[in-house]
Amino acid sequence: MSSNLIALQNKFLGHGQTVYDALSRLHEAQGFISDDDILKLARDHNLPPAHVRSTAKFYENLAHDKPAKHVVKLCNGEACRCAGYEEKYRAFCAQLGVDGAHGVSSKGVRFEHVTCLGLCGSGPNAMVNGVPVSLASNGTVEKVVAHVHKGDKLGIEEKSNALYFPASGKPCILMRYMNKDVLTLEKARAAGIYRSFEKALKSMSPEQVREQVKKSGLRGRGGAGFPTGLKLETVANAESEDGRRFVVINADEGDAGTYQDKECLERDPHTQLEGALLAAYATGAKEIIFYIRFEYPNAHRIMGKAIEEARNAGLLGENILGLSFSCSARIVKGQGAYICGEETSLLRSIEGVPAIVSFKPPFPAQKGLYGCPTAVNNVETLHNLPWIIEHGGDAYAKIGYERSRGTKLVSLNTRVKKPGLYEVGLGTTLREIIFNLAGGMADGHTFKAVQVGGPLGGIFPEKLLDTPLDFEAFTKAKGLLGHGGIVVYSDKDDLVKIGRWLMEFCAIESCGKCFPCRIGAVRGTELFDQMMEGGATEQRLSLMRELCETMEFGSLCALGGAIPTPIKCLMDYFPQEFARYKK
């Protein structure tokens, strides 16, 4: 069905143009999409109204069907829940005159939730008329209300995450330019950025580039840890009917408590573009697509400027550097669907249809975007490539632990004394990160648990703090390294409530294609409610385990398959949390 709809879009909208793009432009222009808008768009372009409607309603931002003068989005991710979300939520409901988390008030204010704005080092956070702001200071809710009701100046600083660089003598690969001003192409090239790309084009074959990446042992930093060199090789060697290949950068960083990709894009955009160009050269791709989440407006602006500068300087386009390699780059803006972090859903979104998970195999490296071989990598993964080509795969392989080579960016929330972004060698333990680098618990709190890898990651007790950052070690401990976002919980946090929120999050964000995820997450949320209201009985706990097993082994993708990970950790490692709810 998707291929037929894509063909229709190409015929009536123009090649490469999609309903998703048209809807995005319309929403950006007027802030909502009515039923009349949907019918007009379908009529104007000879497209099925059902296709236009299903695409609009799938994405949270495009689903707005009523106008609003102002939009306030309050973050309800795990990091912000630890930082005081509940208090801000109640205050907003009371002062904005809205009932619940969604809806347009009588004064034209749309109030809704968003899960993570990438400012987890300064939460709780909100987005006010498209501007991310921290609500950590007293009186900030009142400033937002005065801004949207009276037109007062917002007067809230848009804070940035703190950066903590590796100690002298420790490897610094991903953050090496983040303490410099390298936002413009001129300053980036003066610092040495694009030197690896020029080296590759002038003195290395695509196969030699792939060989260095394979030697490095680099594994994907987005979750599964698949060998990057092998993925690039698969794309390069896969058959393509029309000769097209793509590099797609998954910058839909939706895991709450995670902001590694955001910092790479906003502080070092040209290294990111250089990494993408190296991947394109290594695979024979002629087009690079950055899929950047809606919640990162600064990343859109900064990467857009970097692409424009590179294009004007001849680093993108035809016959780059006067050689035979040609490649273009563009940005697609995400519109509020966590499932787009899953690679097949992300590709369907770019194609302009609802982002519903596709069966694998074939894998995207074989048949991805428009049925062509596609290398889908996350931002942090590609940020490593320039260093690898500059210094060699063997040098990179000397850093790390066991089968996990290189360094890793990790981000911490406000439960520690020094929340922010760190670069550490893989193999560094959680204890070292939390209690040494980040200074331990903040505000006199006592450590209770730590979750790594976002909503689908495991939740570990104190006895597992010596677990090293390593893909296999985390799997053995019933967790998931994932992006490396770290959310620390203290004695002030109710882990049963956290578990309930994680299950509800899955229910909200499920694409709906498979019933273990679609129905199971709803039933899991109901089970948590029953335990919290009527008691965490052995029967209900047993039923929760059965439900988790069904979701884990029956779901089509990692969303439904991994949401049981934190829930099972809670039941196995924190039985005392449930015991408090026994009646």
Lowest mean pLDDT among 215-219, 363-367, 555-559: 555-559
pLDDT level of residue 3 (50, 70, 90 thresholds): low
For residue 505, what are the contacts with CB-CB under 8 A and spacing of at least 6? 115, 338, 455
pLDDT tens profile 465-504: 999 999 999 999 999 898 899 999 999 999 999 999 999 9
Q: Which ranges constitute the DSSP H helices of 69-179?
A: 78-82, 85-96, 140-150
CATH number of the CATH domain containing 259? 3.40.50.11540
Amino acid residing at 312: N
Q: Which of 150, 176, 200 is the last residue of a domain?
A: 150
- C-alpha span between 521 and 506 (Å, rounded): 6
Looking at the structure, do residues 221 and 362 belong to the same domain, yes or no?
Answer: yes
Closest CA to 227 of 471, 438, 420: 471
Tokens of 443: 């505000």
Residues 404 and 470: beta-carbon distance below 8 Å: yes
Position 557 pLDDT exceeds 90? no
Sheet holding 374-378, edge to edge: 328-333, 287-292, 246-251, 374-378
Percent of the chain past pLDDT 90, that is, above it, reads: 77
- Tell me the range of 187-201, 517-531, 558-572 where mean pLDDT is highest: 187-201
Inter-residue contact 77 to 257 (CB < 8 Å): yes
Classify residue 435: in a domain, yes or no.
yes
Q: What are phi and psi of 219, to 5 degrees?
A: -120, 150
Tell me which residue range forms the domain holding 467: 404-490
**What is the residue whose two structure tokens read 């795969």?**
393
Q: Which residue has the tokens 């694998």?
A: 360
If one counts the domains in the chain, the total is 5
Cα–Cα distance measured from residue 368 to residue 235, given in angstroms and rounded to the nearest whole number: 10
Position 1 confidence tier, pLDDT thresholds 50, 70, 90: very low
Q: From CA 247, how far away is CA 235, in angstroms rounded?
A: 9
Q: Beta strand 447-452 with 459-460: parallel, antiparallel or unpaired?
A: antiparallel
CATH number at residue 432: 3.10.20.600
Same domain, 322 and 219: yes
| pLDDT tens per residue across span 142-186 | 999 999 999 899 988 888 999 999 999 999 999 999 999 999 999
Residue 176 lies in a domain: no
We report the CATH number of the domain holding residue 113 as 3.40.30.10
Spatial distance between the Cα atoms of 574 and 494, rounded to a whole number of angstroms: 11
- Surface-to-core class of residue 575, CB atoms within 10 Å of its CB (0-12 exposed, 13-18 middle, 19+ buried): exposed
- Given a contact cutoff of 8 angstroms between Cβ atoms, the answer to whether 349 and 332 are in contact is yes
Predicted TM-score (pTM) of this structure: 0.93
Could you tell me if 282 and 351 lie in one domain? yes
- Number of DSSP helices (H) and strands (E) in the chain, helices first: 26, 16
